[in-house]
Amino acid sequence: ELGCWARVQSICVSLLKVPLMFGFLYLFVCSLDVLSSAFQLAGGSRVAGTPGSLVASAVPAACCSLSLAGKVAGDIFKDNAILSNPVAGLVVGILVTVLVQSSSTSTSIIVSMVSSGLLEVRSAIPIIMGSNIGTSVTNTIVALMQAGDRSEFKRAFAGATVHDCFNWLSVLVLLPLEVVSGYLHHVTRLVVSTFNIRSGKDAPDLLKIITEPFTKLIIQLDKSVITGIATGDESLRNRSLIRVWCGPASPQMAAVGLGPPPNCTGPGHCSTKGIEILHNVTRQKCEHLFTDTPLPDLAVGLVLLAGSLVVLCTCLILLVKLLNSLLKGQVAKAIQKVINTDLPHPLSWLTGYFAMVVGAGMTFVVQSSSVFTSAITPLIGLGVISIERAYPLTLGSNIGTTTTAILAALASPGDKLASSFQIALCHFFFNISGILLWYPLPFTRLPIRMAKALGERTAKYRWFAVLYLIICFLLLPSLIFGISMAGWQALVGVGAPFLSLLFFVGLVNALQAHSPGRLPKWLQTWDFLPAWMHSLQPLDRVITQATLCCTDRCRSPEGWEEHEGPPRDKARLGLDNPVLSYPEEMPSPTIRVGSPRPLPRGATRL
């Protein structure tokens, strides 16, 4: 029993944690905004001596899309010879969105290009699909921050990758369907022709109202430079992305600034004391940290990248700590019950759809699916939100993020309004089609099962999370891009056998788990294959040894002949957790590294 004073102190500390938690959440969202700006600035510098578009052929295009963002995003989107290939367009959408950390940026460029007539709607649809995949990388990276605890990491990574699995599965089905039938193009054209669409205002950005007062003091970017390059304005190619001059100056500022004789550099262009006069229009100099910096865009981008990552990781770790201390005991049970409980019996089947509406509404408010999904990822890791409830919330977030492009398209010129609105609707109908494929019936919710399997794998081998990110968002798209540029014959020749093998492995795994008697005896397990083909344990031993080698500054080879196996190694690396250890990681007799090791039955499936 706590005394009166101790109880008052406990209550005061708990009350203090709430505003502190919102403060860290605010800084977390702001750091995501600055991180996006940093990626665009870091890719803003051009390769010296390379005229025109940086995307001149297939291999240079892949290299540029992997290493550059910002202005180069406009260059990549500008090359119609590449974007006319649907698979290449898909990969470009993935890579650019991954690099700029914002599907809003990539989709706004696409809408601008369609609005200006430089890109056809049919060619823009695969890029929209790619941007949907690329935007899911943010919450997957956020899940890595909970790698310290196996159980939390398993739940957080599963909750983050359910978004990835949904997007990849949807593209795998809908992209070939779109190439063959053009159903998205025809459906959206019918919708546009049915309704009398009128031009409207720009999309509201409600989150900016809260975050912009802080982020604009750090950096301000001129987004028109990227869009201008994509739409063919070569005069913007050498201009810096850092905004120097902002809106019109107030009369008081103009009166103060025009006291001394102004410095005129040309007819109609004068400036003095932070005031610029351009063709009789008075503009005020922006007030942020890098307004008058002599540093190039690349240097500023790298500085902001390092700073924003430090703030992002720090805020996320502190948020998880605060949530852990607040959401425990009866409070956690009450919140879990409210969030994860279904509606009353006759309407229980509507619970998921209601969660979609909530996810769409929250994403519309913050105008960013990355922010919303990244915010719920720590809650999934803590067990407050189950993955079964997080799945419809994520699907709703996918729908909510399409409203930005739809409302932005309404601001297009009258003669191009129909085509720009059509491509914005393609984004919406793509997500609706994915939901119809992978949600209504329980047995079609493959993304949940796939995400849980990935969560189990990453909890067991935590390095697998980094490998997953590199393969799914970098190596695999680049490989597909290179093969697709060799022609559709090469793509079919490589893709068809690979997909057939993937389907066969999945089918055999399902039968091994549920009906092994239907399979031949030799196929009831994968033990007939070498260990490295059906288990990650050999690779885990190699990575553990390599990490220890770096930690111990490469001990002599004799020291590696015999030791107490992976459990002891992971204990020395601080990666062990006895309560959550897996059976094959429990203490065992001395073994020789590299020797075959019996695997449990569950670990033999691919």
Q: 204 and 316 share a domain?
A: yes
Does residue 582 carry a pLDDT above 90?
no
On whether both 478 and 527 belong to a single domain, the answer is: no
Is residue 210 located within the same domain as residue 314? yes
Identify whether residues 513 and 440 lie together within a single domain.
no
Domain enclosing residue 515, as ranges: 507-548
Structural domains counted in the chain: 2
Residue 283 in domain? no
What's the rounded Cα separation, in Å, for the pair 376 and 374? 6
CA distance 147 to 138: 16
Please tell me the predicted confidence (pLDDT) of residue 105: 65
**pLDDT, position 390:** 92
Mean pLDDT, the chain, integer: 74
Pairing of strands 562-563, 245-248: unpaired
Residue 604 within any structural domain of the chain: no
Q: How many CB atoms lie within 10 A of CB 264?
A: 12
Is 60 a member of any domain?
yes
- Mean pLDDT in residue range 161-182: 92
pLDDT in tens, 516-573: 888 888 888 888 888 888 888 888 888 888 877 766 554 444 443 444 444 444 444 4
Please state, for a pLDDT cut of 70, what percent of the chain lies above it: 67
State the pLDDT at residue 334. Answer: 65
> 12 in a domain, yes or no?
yes
Same domain, 378 and 463: yes
pLDDT in tens, 37-86: 777 777 554 333 333 332 233 323 333 333 334 455 555 555 555 667 88
Check residue 202 and give its pLDDT.
47
Contacts of 475 (CB under 8 A, 6+ apart): none
The answer to whether the CB of 284 falls within 8 A of the CB of 274 is yes
Q: Which residue has the tokens 């619970």?
A: 351
In a domain? residue 256: no
Mean pLDDT confidence for 355-376: 82
Is the distance from CB of 362 to CB of 400 less than 8 angstroms?
yes
The four Cα atoms 330, 334, 339, 341 give a dihedral, to 10 degrees, of 120
CB 387 within 8 A of CB 452: yes
Q: Are 151 and 459 in contact (CB under 8 A)?
A: yes
| Model pLDDT, residue 392 | 93
Q: What percentage of the chain has pLDDT greater than the value 90?
A: 15
Distances (CA, A) of 110 to 113, 135, 182, 531: 5, 15, 18, 46
511 and 406, same structural domain? no
414 and 364 assigned to the same domain: yes
